[in-house]
Amino acid sequence: MPPRLKLISIISVLACGLAGLSLFIDRNMQDDSASPRFARLDRFDPYRKTFVCKHQADVVPPLPREADPLFQQALALGSFELWPEQRDYRLIARLYQQAASMGHWKAAFNLAGLYLRGEGVEQNSEKAIELIESVMKKGVPDAWDAMGSLYINGIGSLKQNATVAYAFWQRAAVRNHRPIWESD
């Protein structure tokens, strides 16, 4: 969207209040590339009358058994009981990558954190976003929460946007068993 049209959209949002804000979110959150980071989300509602609390453990997919030893080894190598110079982040990243390639969503999530911080791998926020999206596609609420944090901070190609961040955080809180792209 050209800068002038964005400015007009923002002015329209301010002039039209919440109805305009909802329209602005809808226009800018359309799924242009089938990526969860562009998912069409409900507008954040701080005055929800109902909320069903679910434990994340009840909605996440099972972890592959064959990948879990790699994940556990990476966790042990990155233990905070070790001095920082004792942690081999390159090996940790390699182990997380192997486990993630076998479908271990916790490993993919942790590997995304390494890419964000540049520990053991070259810092690459876009790779981190892609990994978080892969975990979002598995239906893990923590990944939706993380995407909200990426939006609130304007990480990588994601433009800083508190409204979108709160929409992702709300989606993480009310996460159902079906992926968002199957619910519409």
Is the residue at 10 inside a domain?
no
3-state secondary structure of 180: helix
pLDDT at 53: 65
pLDDT at 139: 87
Both tokens assigned to 43: 């507008």
pLDDT at 26: 38
Is the residue at 148 inside a domain?
yes
pLDDT at 21: 39
pTM, 2 dp? 0.71
3-state secondary structure of 93: helix
pLDDT at 68: 96
Is the residue at 12 inside a domain?
no
Could you say which residues of the chain have pLDDT below 50? 5, 7-33, 177-184
- The residue with tokens 């876009």 is 126
98-136 burial by CB neighbour count: b if 16+ within 10 A, else e?
A: bbbebbbbbbbbbbbebbbeebbbeebbebbbbbbbbbb
Number of domains in the chain: 1
Is the residue at 13 inside a domain?
no
What's the pLDDT tens digit per position in 33-79?
467 777 777 776 776 677 666 777 788 899 999 999 999 999 999 99
Is the residue at 9 inside a domain?
no
CATH number for the domain spanning 48: value is 1.25.40.10
Structural domain that includes position 41: 31-183
Is the residue at 26 inside a domain?
no
Is the residue at 18 inside a domain?
no
Is the residue at 140 inside a domain?
yes
**Half-sphere exposure of residue 133: CA atoms within 13 angstroms, side-chain side:** 16
